[in-house]
Structure 1
């Protein structure tokens, strides 16, 4: 059974997911698009357990939850609330803060809204993401702190977080992007990011920052170009405009939507920005990913999210 197109308006969304049963029906289609299949015996016949979101196999009687492996598993909130949260997060161009989500969903506790958003952000991560290909621009920046530069263009601010960014070149525009918090801007750190992000054989464009020379030594087609050298030769073409635009857009988005973000949780906000950018033309795919319908997710609690911090995951 094919999944329906993404609702284009709030009224369409309300009509499609107007009650808990509609949400359960949608989960059923997403989990078993070709019909029920028992994970234990591969049986094809089952009946619903009406008191819970479970289906019981007619052959081996194993009960399987529709929400298992999704961010909805073991939730105490209505499915409708989660569906609305994912919809608002998907369709709101600048994103949505926990305060805004709490107000729009009528949640009594701020912690509930904050936990929902962080669970949804963790669902943005795809451990099997594909590597960037073709030509790729790579640069680093600092987020937070008082941004005062020094000779060479890299700051020594202790409070700022180092972030490295990669952007695919697609004609005059940009393809997919990747962003990750890094401990420093050293050669080994930058190489590890490129190695985990960019496919072998890709052309990697960077500025003239010295540690990038390690890329060529490791076999990458590295093509550095500094702004100063370009000016000396009279070349007025912008140096790496796509990655610089991505960095600028991220900082503007972070300031405009979330204002204050802890350094410990910065990675999940990078993940959200990357997810939004890479799925900007696929709202239904984004919606399904947020609910955890395209990959497996273990349930997490508010305390676990606070204790674990951002982890080392990356968005697709």
Structure 2
């Protein structure tokens, strides 16, 4: 039932982020021995994050989605799907972010290397993305005990985004009402839609034998003593 509710937490035709939007990527997953760090993923899942920046301070809505890689072929569709054209997109100096201004957005690049040279904290360049990434990882660690399946990570992130975007809701009952409302709007969810990977059976099922009534409903044999008695 929890998987069914997670599958309907994205409202059809929801509004895209607008204004000033920070966009970056993060790796979700535990530390692995032998990996040098940086962009060496291993079993980790690269996840795109977009966060609205409010004026004079504060964060608005966010969007998160697993990415295939950090190339422009993956990052540009992420920005196109979640950010309104004409918004100001703030990114770091990664080469995969180049060309966002050609999509109709105002692109501002903040180089982490330049910040380190100037003795500045690189975490302050994209505070919204880093805050959401930390909260999401802490939420996954507390709710799922760190056991996050790559196949179901997208639905888990949808649940986090749903909770984060309604964190200022004054009536918690309205959040539950929105979940029920989304469940009614969406199409029916079947079990086969929730299974991420079909596992073949080790032993193929055998066909049933001749059909009929169960043994308990069959008539007793005619040679029973109480049947022959007059």
| 1:269 CA displacement | 0.6
The answer to whether the Cα contact below 8 Å between 1:141 and 1:164 also exists between their aligned partners in 2 is yes
Give 3-state SS (helix, strand or coil) of 2:79's partner: helix
Consecutive unaligned residues in structure 2, runs of 5 or more: 199-230
| 1:295 CA displacement | 5.2
**Deviation digits for residues 36-83 of structure 1 (CA, Å, limit 9, x no counterpart):** xxxxxxxxxxxxxxxxxxxxxxxxxxxxxxxxxxxxxxxxxxxxxxxx
| 1:275 CA displacement | 0.1
Matched residue count? 191
**Deviation digits for residues 1-52 of structure 1 (CA, Å, limit 9, x no counterpart):** xxxxxxxxxxxxxxxxxxxxxxxxxxxxxxxxxxxxxxxxxxxxxxxxxxxx
Q: State the partner residue of 2:47.
A: 163
Q: State the partner residue of 1:297.
A: 186
TM-aligned CA distance change 1:254 to 1:307, over 3 Å: closer
**Deviation digits for residues 264-315 of structure 1 (CA, Å, limit 9, x no counterpart):** 0001110000000001223344212212357512332444412579xxxxxx
CA–CA distance in 2 between the matches of 1:226 and 1:235? 11
TM-aligned CA distance change 1:141 to 1:298, over 3 Å: same
TM-score (normalizing by structure 1): 0.56
Runs of 4+ that moved beyond 6 A = none
Does 2:103 align with 1:218?
Answer: yes
Does 2:30 align with 1:142?
Answer: no
Q: State the partner residue of 2:128.
A: 242
Q: State the partner residue of 2:138.
A: 252
* Greater Cα offset, 235-244 or 186-195: 235-244
Q: State the partner residue of 1:126.
A: 11
Give 3-state SS (helix, strand or coil) of 2:21's partner: strand
Matches within 5 A, 1:1-316: 116-146=1-31, 148-150=35-37, 153-157=38-42, 159-171=43-55, 172-235=57-120, 238-259=124-145, 260-282=147-169, 283-292=172-181, 296-307=185-196
TM-aligned CA distance change 1:212 to 1:288, over 3 Å: same
Consecutive unaligned residues in structure 1, runs of 5 or more: 1-115, 310-316
The answer to whether the Cα contact below 8 Å between 2:49 and 2:133 also exists between their aligned partners in 1 is yes
TM-aligned CA distance change 1:307 to 1:256, over 3 Å: closer
TM-aligned CA distance change 1:235 to 1:224, over 3 Å: same
The answer to whether the Cα contact below 8 Å between 1:121 and 1:290 also exists between their aligned partners in 2 is no
**Deviation digits for residues 184-236 of structure 1 (CA, Å, limit 9, x no counterpart):** 11112101110111111111111111110121233321111122202323555
The answer to whether the Cα contact below 8 Å between 1:126 and 1:295 also exists between their aligned partners in 2 is no
CA–CA distance in 1 between the matches of 2:121 and 2:45? 31
The answer to whether the Cα contact below 8 Å between 1:135 and 1:202 also exists between their aligned partners in 2 is yes
Give 3-state SS (helix, strand or coil) of 1:291's partner: helix
The answer to whether the Cα contact below 8 Å between 2:9 and 2:182 also exists between their aligned partners in 1 is no
CA–CA distance in 1 between the matches of 2:99 and 2:31? 29
Considering only CA atoms, is the larger Rg found in Structure 1 or Structure 2?
2
